[in-house]
Amino acid sequence: MAFRIDGVFLPNTPELPIYFAEVQFQPDKKIYSRLFAEIFNYLDKTELTNTWRGVVIFPNRSVDSGDTERYAELLNSQRVTRVYLNELSSIPTSSIGIETVKLIIEPESTATAKAIEIVNSARKEILNAAQQREIIQLIETILIYKLPRLSREEMGKMFGLSELKQTKFYQEVFAEGKEEGKEEGKLEGKLEGKLEGKLEGKLETIPQLWALGLSIEQIAQALGLDEQVVRQAVQPKS
């Protein structure tokens, strides 16, 4: 019966609230009962006395199908904000952060071009090297989940080889290739090997994608696995 919060953002002053973030990309009738159980359990265990806010992120309103009757007062208050990614385009002025989050629901046909646009904006607007690298790594992660067959050329076009070498994905691929002694001199072979993956590696990835809120169907499609295999992998171990 473990509870796991997707994100907890802690303030550096007592006047600011603690933010709890939940990302939900599949319908779940118990989303709100689970969310508030997680939040109040956290508040009970922490010594912080700050007030709190909750943010729930959905791809669209149709996924927001949780039972709300018992939690109407909380959901209708300023305590909780529900965000629908497909509606963020109505915001007149946007930020790199919002554009990066919107990349999650960007159509596959335009996702690569949009990612390049965001990366170029990040290079121009974010002067802090560490923050810039974090944004690029987040974009890289989104694209790998969204477009598992992304080629080395496309990755290089977006990030550049020097920046690509700094990403977690590249470092994992390099380490894996070095340990296995395969194609140590070529990034292309390592990337393709990582993307195609072995069944064991794919099975290890399933819980991570499930934790991000992807459905069984989405995970199966992204990893090229049978839905029954994915379903078994996410079932709690007895």
- pLDDT tens sequence across 198-223: 556 667 778 777 776 677 877 777 77
- Strand partners of residue 57: 23, 83
Tens digit of each residue's pLDDT (9 = 90 or more) over 45-86: 999 999 999 999 999 999 999 999 999 999 999 999 999 988
> Which pLDDT band, with edges at 50, 70 and 90, does 185 fall under?
very low
Short-list 100, 97, 103, 80, CA closest to 21: 80
* 20, pLDDT greater than 50: yes
The answer to whether 154 and 116 have CB atoms below 8 angstroms apart is no
The more confident residue out of 57 and 237 is 57
The answer to whether 87 and 67 have CB atoms below 8 angstroms apart is no
* 169, pLDDT greater than 60: no
Please tell me what DSSP assigns to residue 54.
Answer: E
Predicted pLDDT of residue 33: 94
With pLDDT > 70 as the criterion, what percentage of the chain qualifies?
A: 72
Measure the CA–CA gap between 13 and 209, rounded to whole angstroms. 33
3-state secondary structure 143-197: HHHHCCCCCHHHHHHHHCHHHHCCCHHHHHHHHHHHHHCCCCCCHHHHHHHHHHC
Average pLDDT, the chain: 78
> Which pLDDT band, with edges at 50, 70 and 90, does 184 fall under?
very low
Q: Which residues of 92-116 are buried (b: 16+ CB within 10 A; e: fewer)?
A: eeeebeebbbbbbbbeeeebbebbe
The more confident residue out of 29 and 136 is 29
Q: Specify the pTM.
A: 0.58
The more confident residue out of 126 and 175 is 126
